[in-house]
Each structure stands twice: as C-alpha cells, then as structure tokens.
Amino acid sequence: MNIKNLFRPSHLKIAVGISILFIVVYLISPSFLELLELKTIDTRFKKRPAVAPGKEIVIATIDEKSLDELGRWPWPRTTIARLIDALTSYGARVIAFDIVFSEPDEHSELKALLSLKERYKAGMPSGFSEYINKAKTELDSDIQLGKSVEKSGRVILGYFFHFDKAAAHREGRELSHSYQKVEVLKHGGENIIAASAIESNIDVIAKGAKGFGYYNIIPDNDGSVRWDPLVIKYQDKYYAPLSLSALKAYLGDPPLSLALTDYGVANIQLGETSIPVDETGRLLINYYGGQKIFPHYSIADIISGRVEKEKLRDKIVLVGSTAVGIYDMRVTPFEGTYPGIEIHATVMDNILHKRFMVRPQWFGLLDILVILCIGLFLGLVIPRLNTAAGILSVASLLAGYIYLSAYLFNAKGLLINITYPALLVITTYLCLTLYRYVMEAREKKKLKGTFQYYVAAPVMEELMKHPEKLKLGGEEKELTVLFSDIRRFTTISERLTPDTLIKLLNEYLSAMSDVVFKYEGYLDKYIGDAIMAVYGAPLAQEDHARKACLTALDMMERLKAMQGDWEKRGLPFLNIGIGINTGDMVVGNIGSEQKYDYTVIGDNVNLASRLEGLNKLYGTNIIISGSVYMEVGKELFCRELDIVQVRGKIKPVSIYEVIGRGDAPSLKETVETFHKGIKYYRERRWEEAIQSFAAVRALRPEDGPSELYMQRCRQFIAAPPPDDWQGVLSVR
C-alpha cells in the first residue's frame, strides 16, 4: 500500500475522522454538551402534547386564598392539625407534607402563658403555676399536631438534607427510616449524592408519623430541575425521598430496595416496580405539562369542608405551597416558576404508572454506532451530490433523526441523544463542503492550467462552471479527431531564415487554432507544423463529426485568404492536408506523475493521422473516413475516394473527400462522373473507367484522384490484378 495514499485526505476519511473525534468527545462528555442535550430534552417536553396524569394524586395547596383566610405563613400548628383531621375525615389514604416542622411553634398560646409565668412568678396567685403546668399539654400546638399525626396514621412527614459541611447535624426519627434493603452487588466507589446534615422534624410531631421522606430538589447547573434524586447517602445509610415514602404507604408498604455496584446505583425497586435511575440514583422526571396538571385544592376549602369528599377519598394528598410569596418555586422545562410540590407529584405519578423516560445503559453504544454510521453515510453520499442536493440530504437526515427521537420520546418514553448526531451532521457537512470547495478550487486551477491554451474561451468557461462534466481519468468514448499538416514543409523551411520561418509558422498555427476554437474543438497538440484537434472532449458534443468537418473547410478558406498576404510579403505558398476520423478511443490524462497531457489514443486516432497522409497520394486536401461520412454526408458535399486497407485495421476503410458545403451544383456532374468511373474500376472495366476519369479531368483539370485512377487502370490493363481483387488499396 502506498503510504502517501493512506494519508491523503478524502471525503470518506474526513467524515470518519470527524466521527472518531466526536466519539472521543462523547466519551469525555463535556459539561456544556451535556447541558445542550438537556436543553433538547426540554424542547421535546415542550413540543409533546400534554399528558393526563392518573387520578390517585391531588395537591392541598398553601395558595393565595388560604393565606387570605387563614393568615400569613407560617400558620399555627393547630391549623396544620385541623388540616390533617379534615383530610383524615375525607378519607385520604396518604397525607404527605412537603414541609418540615423543625422548630417549636412560635404561635403557641402556651408560649405566651409560660412567658407570663416567668415574668410574674414572684407575685403569682396561689395555684396558678399548677394550673399552667396542667394546661401545658392542652395548649401546646406542637403536641396537638403530633396527636393529629398519630391519630391519622397516614401522615408522611417531609424533611431535607443539607449539603453544606458547615451545617449543624440534628438527630431525628427520620434517621431510622432508611432504605429497608440495600443490596451491594459489587463493592467499590460510589457516585451517590451525599449529605452533610439533616433538617428534621421535632420529635413531638415526628413520633406519630407513618413515614418520612426528604423533599430536596437539586437543579442542574443551569437552574432547571430535570432529575429527582431517589436516594441520598447520609452517615453510611441510604434514604428515600418523600415521593417513594408516600407511594410505599399508598401501596400497602411493599419492600423498597436499593442495589449498588462499584459505579453507583444499579437499581431501585418498589415492590414489583423497577425504577430506572442513573448511577447517582436520579430519576429523569417525565413532566406532563405546565402547572396544575394535578388537581389543586385550597387548604382553606379543605378545612372549611368546601371540597367534595370524592375528590380526596383514597387519594395521595400532597401538602405544599403554590403561593408565589412562599419560596417553593422551581425552574422546569415548561416554566420559570413551577411549584416544587408539583414536581413531587409528577415523580410519584411517573413511578405509580411506570411512565418513565428511559435511557438504557446500552444506548451509549448505540450513540457511538449512530455517530459512526452518520459519518460513513455523509462521507459516501455527500461527494456524489451537488450543493442543493447535499443541503437537502443533510436537512432530511437531520429532520428524520429529530422526528425519530421525538417519536421515541412521545410514544415509547425513550431518550436517544440528539446533540452529538445533530452536531456531527452539521460539522461533517460543513467540513466536507469546505474540503470540496478547496479541492474544486485546486482542480479548477489545475484545469485552467491544462486547458486554457487548448480550448476556446466559452468552452473553458463552461469547464470552470461545471468541472464535473470533465472526466480526467481514462475513459473510452466516441470522438472525432482531426489531423492537419503542411505539404513539403521541410523544403519550405530550408528556403527561409529561422526568424521568418517561425513567424510564418506561428501566423499559420494561430489562424488554424482560431478555427479549431470556433467550432469548440480541443487543440490537443502541435506536432511541428502539424495540428491535432479533438471534438467531443473534454466537453461532450453531439455533432462532433460535423464540427470537425466544418473546421476543415474553414481552415482551407482561411488559408486561401492568407495566401494573398503572404504572396505580397514574398513568402512561400502553403498547402495543407487534413484527415478526419470518428470512432471509439481512449481519452484522459496520459503521462507521468510529474507531467501529463489530456489527449486521446487508439487505432481510430492513428487512422485519422493516416487519412491526413493520404492527401498526398490523392492530391486532395480533406479526407474523411466512412464513419465521419455517415454523420455529415447529407449536409456536406462529399465524394467517395477509395477503399483502403491501413495498418492496424482488420477491415478495409471507405474514404471520402469533403469538397464543400451544400450541394455544390457546379460540381455535381463532375462527382457523378467520378463515381461512375469508380464503379467501372471496381468492375474491372478499365477502358470505360479511364473514359469517365478523363471526362472528370476535362471538367476539372486539377483533379488529382481522377489522374491517380487513370494511372491505376493503365497498370491493370498491362498487368491485371488477381482474381480475388476487391478494389481495395493496401496502404503501408
């Protein structure tokens, strides 16, 4: 294998190289590209039609109406107790609080009474102190809330973790409610989110709760919430969120288990439901739409009994804030102010109805395979298309891939990566287009260097506009070749000084070249005083044989016009012979790597050269082959000359002389008489043939072919040809 060719750039190599680079970047996973992919997921959520959630979850909201009726937040714990009592009476199956009660109630009447006792303890009436101690239990709102929690038996209390190492740790009953089962499949490093401290509920409230769950919401770097952590590690134990704890209670306390490997979380299982999470234990939230996808009921209406019981019976009731004045607003793919309580509701519904956004681990290999396939496709297809088709194919590929991703997202809940394939398509197309333009500019420069002196300006312009029409590699096609040569040039050159000879020759060649260019011929080369021109290449021509013949006729006319000027200047008379042949020949760049020519080769090229030489024998100026005559015989005035057997050809070749354009009435009788003479000649009727050729000579004294045939007839009278003679002249 040639090492140079191995490293020589090509469209395919560039496309594959870019794909490999993208795979490396994909494996590194730069954060800005990961964020860009998350943005595409946001867009997919926004474009997807809204999804109706199940009917199991409702939200009891601390809304503007509640604040107006029940007072500003935080409310007295007695109000929360009334809410729990009301929800319990409504028949709610689970009551989950997106709230933590970490401090004693500041609104408690007991607090004011104890303060009064402390202030007036010296002058307090007898028995008053005992009364306060006795009333303490009845007046303590935290105790009242704790009793409501315990009595309900269905309350899940929320709490939250701190991730700041400076935060103070507080023990709480929550710490006894870690994952029931933690299965370590393989020991090693972990990627699970770890907390530094806990903000727990006060014991008097927490002791009667059915369960606990943290309600931490951790946004991505751009502030948007897309993931929900279903496990947090704290002091070597693993804790479940409010959503899982509430669902566990709702479903009748099925086992909740966590499986770990050396890379992090392998699986989270709630009963029979396997929850797809990443290695850190995060669930990608399947948002259903904007706010109020779930039913909202004002706490004021619930406490006052203004809500129908059927609306809350057997429901999971999430208690939290939707009022803008109370901070629990988050950024989501849909909105910049989205209640955190609705995020918890969405996660719970995702798990309850198994509506997960899934990205299996093997999708990473799929992404790599897609990147490679896209690179190969573009590397193979783009070079074969023009700019418009290339843009259309790239746009179609992008649109098709995005449509596929949207379909899988909407119908199957599957997440395929859009960012890397889309960027790959755009980057690869731009690079391939740039490479194409660079190579085209180089090829045009090379093309111009090859053809600018050998074709007419319009042909050159067409080649530069559409270089794809030119195939520089070897190909076989039907073309027409013209050879011309000056008669007795050696003798003429001996009579002239070098300077005069060169000037005369340049003048002649310039004039003849102009005629070649006029008929869009390709000036293949000058061979001394000879000219070789090709028609039908480099640009295809349907009438290449006709144009070659018209070139020959114009050459003769131009030469005749130049003779007068040369005679005045004392320059010699020039006469030329022209041979033209049409046939299949090989055309392309021929030569070495350092120097080559765009030319034609083959037997049909050689035949044109031999036809040019036959003009000396017949005393003519333009001889064409039978294949040329088939193309121009009806338009140009020609006469058959002979049948010749040339070297390199198995079959004899009919040759013709081009006399002029149109019918040439003045020569019609002469040509008919000449053809009659050839007929007699081939029938061995020598005397009759001589009479016909003599008649031609009488009409046209300078007719060379007639003189030649008369000589042959006399020779055959003296020495008849063999019996198998077919009237064919063998030319060596």
pLDDT for 454 equals: 45
- Please state, as a whole number, how many other Cβ atoms lie within 10 Å of the Cβ of residue 195: 19
Instruction: Report the sign of the C-alpha dihedral through residues 107, 111, 113, 118, in that order.
Output: negative
Res 402: pLDDT: 92
Q: How far apart are CA 448 and CA 454, in angstroms?
A: 10
> For 64-85, how does the pLDDT look when each residue is reduced to its tens digit (9 = 90+)?
999 999 998 889 999 999 999 9
In one-letter notation, the amino acid at residue 707 is E
| In CATH, 462-661 is 3.30.70.1230 | yes
Which of 152, 268, 137 lies closest to 208 in space, CA to CA? Answer: 152
CA distance 481 to 465: 25
- 266 versus 306: which is more confidently predicted? 306
| In the block, residue with structure tokens 């008929």 | 519
Residue 731: per-residue pLDDT: 82
Say if CB 615 and CB 577 are below 8 A apart.
yes
Output the pLDDT for position 390: 87
User: pLDDT grade, residue 347 (50/70/90)?
Assistant: very high
User: Looking at the predicted structure, is the pLDDT value of residue 433 above 60?
Assistant: yes
Average pLDDT over residues 153-159: 95
C-alpha dist (Å) from residue 123 to 110, 112, 129, 134, 643: 20, 17, 11, 20, 151
Total residues belonging to the chain: 732
C-alpha to C-alpha distance for 374 and 377, rounded to whole angstroms: 5
Task: Give, in order, the Cα–Cα distances in Å from 348 to each of 211, 261, 354, 567.
Answer: 16, 25, 10, 108
**561 is written with which tokens?**
């016009």
User: How many Cα atoms sit within 13 Å of 426 on the Cβ side?
Assistant: 6
pLDDT average, residue stretch 593-619 = 88
How far apart (Å, rounded) are the C-alpha atoms in residues 167 and 335?
A: 31
Are the C-beta atoms of residues 682 and 714 closer than 8 Å to each other?
A: no
- Helices 387-407 & 363-381, crossing angle to 10 degrees? 160
* pLDDT tens figures, 637-687: 999 999 999 887 788 999 999 999 876 677 888 999 999 999 999 999 999
**Predicted confidence (pLDDT) at residue 424 exceeds the cutoff of 60:** yes
Residue 468 exposure: Cα atoms within 13 Å on the Cβ side: 7
Q: Is 182 helix (H, G, I), strand (E, B) or coil?
A: strand
Q: Strand locations in 430-535, DSSP E?
A: 475-486, 522-527, 530-535
pLDDT of residue 361: 78
Q: How far apart are CA 595 and CA 589, in angstroms?
A: 10
Range in 200-209, 454-463, 677-686 the model is least confident about? 454-463
pTM: 0.65
Residues 6+ apart with CB under 8 A from 89: none
- Between 20-34, 187-201, 360-374, 556-570, the lowest mean confidence (pLDDT) is in 187-201
Distance (Å, whole) CA 516 – CA 480:
13
